[in-house]
Amino acid sequence: MTADDFTLSEHDLAVLCRTFRDDTELDHWLPGGDQYRRRAYQCFHLAMGRLAEDGPGALTAIGQPPPYVQSKQINPVAGDIERSFQLIPPDHPATDPTKRIATAVALLLEANGVLSAARTPHCLVDAHYMRLIAPGHPAPEGKHRDGLIAGSAHLIQRTNIGGGVSAIYDRYQPDRELRSFVLENPLDSYVFDDERVLHYTTTITVTDPAVGAGLRDVLLIGFRERE
């Protein structure tokens, strides 16, 4: 997916850029006290039966979401831990553009049979606002799944960095690379069926230290069944 697949304006992108800059905080869950990642979090309820008619109206922001938990098998770095992150409140300016991004992804997943009103009538949609400061590791877990139904990654900003090559692998043949690419322009995105594939992104490095910090801001969206 590219910017043409989303109904976002330059103002919407500016709002998202400010959110990554001003509203993320240091990720305290990285191993060894690493400090290259900042993040914030938002969670929505998605009523799949309303998606086609209501679009973003089918998503409702949850003001106080439960802690975010992944199993140790899925996430060997921070699995089996009830993690909480800096919250983006429902009335934040970033909520609307984030809902529209999630809606476009949900419609694509529905069209491809990954989500459906019959099988997944109610989903939780996680939005992770992830800022990486080079040098840093977008995927310290290595090749991995997220323990979701499906997910997506959306570039918001890429500044003064090299690396950051993303790749998708066959879940059952992890050495079989299906595709690799670099998210380069705002809203360059990829969507994946988490049941079928693994994903990974290589380390980012600073291109020119004289220019300033190297940054990679990515909005990660995850769809999981609501218990």
Tens-place pLDDT, residues 187-197: 999 999 999 99
Distance CA 116, CA 120 (A): 5
**Domain of residue 126, CATH code:** 2.60.120.620
Structural domain including 51 reads: 3-225
Give the 3-state secondary structure of residue 16: helix
Tens-place pLDDT, residues 26-39: 998 887 778 899 99
Cβ-based neighbour number of residue 118 at 10 Å? 7
If one counts the domains in the chain, the total is: 1
pTM: 0.95
Q: Which helix (H) or strand (E) holds 143?
A: none
Tens-place pLDDT, residues 86-124: 999 999 999 999 999 999 999 999 999 999 999 999 999
